[in-house]
Structure 1
């Protein structure tokens, strides 16, 4: 399952994603991973949630991001939830270019039974392609 949270920068998406991760950590049976390009949220997350800062791995486009996701999943089959904060900050591409990335993520969520929650910065809802709108919460 993919769930996308779209709103403008500074609207509180990160705070809500951190709260979601911390609350679900207490209830989930599997492992959780929080992915961001900024290490500040690391200190607000439960210590049992694996934090991955993308800058350490030079993730900059959709292909490298997808490869990193596959690596995370292949190294731990117990992952239940993945939280991606600020996808538009991590991968430098337009929303339309990220459509293929969302299709690939949908494929691995189905195959491995993983929930993926993604924060995306948008100024208005017209920026979001139709194929991504189906995942918007």
Structure 2
């Protein structure tokens, strides 16, 4: 399942993501990963959640490389059950027009690997044209 949190910058998406990640860490039997863009604000993320900072991986410059990064993460740890991706559009080389393809590929990874994705996007629901909401992709807010 791919879960999207949408809204303008500063609308509280990151805190929602942290709260959801902390809930999932308590509820699921596998591992939870929280991907963020910088080293700031990790203190409220539960200790048992693996936090990954994308500033440490500046070689990832497009959607294809990002998807490869996610597959690599799963291949190294098959116990990953949930991956939270905070602020995907804050990556310099990822744009809103990339989101339909990105979400479609996340849906495939989710089905293949049984991983739930939570993605925060700094855009309104109406700005996300081309994303097909379905049983495997929904907007949480």
Same fold at TM > 0.5: yes
Structure 1 segments of 4 or more deviating over 3 A? none
| Structure 1 alignment gaps of length 5 or more | none
Q: Secondary structure of 1:39's match?
A: coil
Considering fraction of residues, name the structure with more helix: 1
RMSD over aligned Cα atoms: 1.5
Write out per-residue CA displacement over residues 98-125 of structure 1, whole angstroms, 9 at most, x where no aligned residue.
3212111110100111100000001x43
1:80 shift after superposition: 0.6
Structure 2 Cα separation of the partners of residues 67 and 127 of structure 1: 26
Structure 2 counterparts to residues 1-137 of structure 1, below 5 A = 1-58=1-58, 59-90=60-91, 92-122=93-123, 124-134=124-134, 135-137=138-140
Decide which moves more: 125-134 or 100-109: 125-134
Aligned CA distance change for structure 1 residues 29 and 91 (closer, same or farther; 3 Å): farther
State TM-score, norm by structure 1: 0.91
Structure 2 Cα separation of the partners of residues 9 and 112 of structure 1: 31
1:17–1:85: 8 Å Cα contact kept in structure 2?
Answer: yes
State TM-score, norm by structure 2: 0.89
1:94 shift after superposition: 2.5
Write out per-residue CA displacement over residues 66-112 of structure 1, whole angstroms, 9 at most, x where no aligned residue.
11111111100000110000010125233222321211111010011
